[in-house]
Amino acid sequence: MPMTETKPEIIDMIEQVRRYYASEEFCVRRRKIKEGEIAPRVLVETAIHTTYLQYCAKDFHNAFKNDGCESRYLIEESEEQDGFSAEELWQQLHDHKPDIYFMLSCGRPIRNIFPENLSFVSHIQDICGLFLAQNCLEGGIQPWDVLACQSKNMCEYFTAKGVPEKQIIVMPTPVESDAFYPLEKADYLYDVSLVNHALASPEETMAEFLEMQFGNYDEIPRRIFGGLFMKLWEAIRKKEYTSEPEAIKLALEINETCQNQLSDAGKKVIVGMVHIFYITVYYSWWRVQFLEALDKAGVKLALFGNNWDKFPTLKHLQKGSVLDASQRNEVYNRSRVNLHLNPVFTMHPRVVECIMAGNPPLIYQMPEEHDQESTSKYFEDLVYFHSIDELVGLFDSGKDNSEQMVIVEKTLYPNRRERLRQVALDNHTVKKAAATLIKKWRGQL
């Protein structure tokens, strides 16, 4: 957040903000909020280049308003605007005087120049940025901050870095309930669909990963790190599934066999980089296996999202982007089978979206001990598959494809759709999540 220039009026504005958050006026206001006499003011910040996060942030903004808060939504005006300057953000604090600064997957560390008394409430959907870079967050998170994490593993990650447990809650990403619902007389247009953005082909993603992570390194460390990850890339493709902890262990084992072994500091760098490798390179390769197998088996597959045209073996299946909720709801309703593929956790917002749309998905279930947040904690009777062969076997019975698809669709969720939908509406809406966060935050004051 570079300052454009330190004009006297800017310095004065910043000092006004600092004085406000250190004032008796602010302390009195916070006491009234804690006692429930008044609702907090919330500033929701998000980024325009993260499509899903901007929609999710907007949903939270609306939910905060519906819960009685005075909320302001802060997003860049266009793709050309590269974030906000420090001056712009200080101006928002000056004008709105928020009690809560709300962010998705980010938090106080990225805005650490702001007053300590300003509360940061974050919904962590990915561990990224400064959260990933800092070895310890003790002292970097204030007692009135709250971290709501997508999964229990993320909660453990933050407690290990010094964040008190009482400031952390597990909160799978909620869904805007008004946006997803069964359509009347919705004819099926697709047999099996997947709604998910892609990055690029696994080979391109690997090349981009190496360049992004090590392109600025000197020749020798670039060769050492790059060689290690190429060996990891080769080894990890020999199994159908590898969890992220297993990938980290494998990377460290590969390091032990290298002539130029890394120091303890270098090993810590590897752990962070394996996380990035896993959610980009590995995820791209892992998912393609299932989709190629379905296509080869003759299943009529439809892929929705960005960048599927970058996959030579899958680009003929692309159907375009479905950016807003109404488009996704249409796809969920018009697909006989909604497919969910994620190697990290089963309790994903796409799963809840499908359930709210009235057409629960067919879900990949990794080994239970590696499921970082399981749907079974929240929903009964969802349908899972555990391997490529099991998935393909559902559709390959020797029957005519269209006849088999009718059989699969009718046997996946007989008489359970409405009950599952009601569970989602009762427990996993953005409205309920926003109210839960405000309640949790009040308890920290």
Domains in the chain, please, with CATH? 8-174+431-444 (3.40.50), 190-428 (3.40.50.2000)
Amino acid identity at 55: Y
The DSSP secondary-structure symbol of 165 reads G
pLDDT of the residue at 403: 67
The DSSP secondary-structure symbol of 142 reads -
How crowded is the C-beta side of 422, counted as CA atoms within 13 Å? 4
Beta strands in 230-350 (DSSP E): 301-304, 335-340
pLDDT of the residue at 157: 86
Burial of 1 (0-12, 13-18, 19+ CB in 10 A): middle
pLDDT of the residue at 34: 94
Low-confidence ranges of the chain (pLDDT < 50): 1-4
pTM for the whole structure: 0.88
Instruction: Mark 306-345 as b/e (b = at least 16 C-beta within 10 Å).
Output: bbbebbeebeebbbeebbebeebbebbbbbbbbbbbbbbb
Integer Cα distance of 422 and 427 in angstroms: 9
Strand partners, 364: 385
Q: How far is CA 235 from the centre of its chain?
A: 27
pLDDT of the residue at 3: 47
Residue written as tokens 């003011």? 41
* Radius of gyration in angstroms for the set of CA atoms belonging to the chain, rounded to a whole number: 24
